[in-house]
Amino acid sequence: MSHIVIVGAGECGARAAFALREKGFEGEITLIGAEPHLPYERPPLSKSGLAGAEPPKYVAGPERYEEAGITLLTGASVEAIDRPRKAVQLADGRTIDYDRLLLATGARPRVLQGVPDNAERIRMLRTHADALAIRGALAPGRKLAIIGGGFIGLELAATARKLGAEVVLIEGLPRVLCRGVPEEIAAVVAERHRQEGVEIVCDARIAALEAGDNGARILFADGASRLADLIIVGIGAVPNTELAEAAGLLVENGIAVDETLRTSDPDIYAAGDCCSFPLSHYGGRRVRLEAWRNAQEQGTLAAANLLGVAEPVASVPWFWSDQYELTLQIAGLADGAATTVRRDLTDGAFILFHLDGEGRLVAASGIGPGNAVARDIRLAEMLIAAGSRPDPTALSSPETKLKKLLAA
Partner 1 sequence: MSSNWVEVCAADDIDEEDVIRFDHEGRTFAVYRSPDDEYFATDGLCTHEHIHLADGLVMDDIIECPKHNGRFNYKTGQAKGAPVCVNLKTYPVKVEAGSVFIAIS
Lay out the sheet containing 318-323: strands in order across.
318-323, 326-332, 361-369, 350-355, 339-344
Closer to partner 1 by CB, 49 or 109: give it: 49
Least distance to partner 1, CB of residue 37, Å? 17
Report residue 292: phi and psi, to 5°: -60, -45
The closest of 319, 277, 316 to 43, measured between CA atoms, is: 319
Report residue 202: phi and psi, to 5°: -105, 170
Q: Which residues bind partner 1 (CB under 8 A)?
A: 15, 18, 22, 41, 59-60, 64, 292-293, 296, 300, 320, 327, 370-372, 374-375, 378-379, 403
Provide the 3-class DSSP secondary structure of residue 257.
coil
Closer to partner 1 by CB, 48 or 77: give it: 48
Closer to partner 1 by CB, 245 or 347: give it: 347
Least distance to partner 1, CB of residue 404, Å? 11
Closer to partner 1 by CB, 320 or 350: give it: 320
Closer to partner 1 by CB, 59 or 228: give it: 59
**Alpha helix segments (H runs only) across 217-373:** 242-246, 292-306
Least distance to partner 1, CB of residue 301, Å? 12
Q: Which residues of 225-235 are buried (b: 16+ CB within 10 A; e: fewer)?
A: ebebbbbbbbb
Least distance to partner 1, CB of residue 397, Å? 17
Least distance to partner 1, CB of residue 42, Å? 13
> What amino acid occupies position 12?
C
Are residues 337 and 363 in contact, defined by beta-carbon separation less than 8 angstroms? yes
Least distance to partner 1, CB of residue 383, Å? 13
Closer to partner 1 by CB, 222 or 399: give it: 399
Q: For residues 6 and 143, what is the distance between their CA atoms, to the nearest angstrom? A: 41
Cα-Cα end-to-end distance for the chain:
45
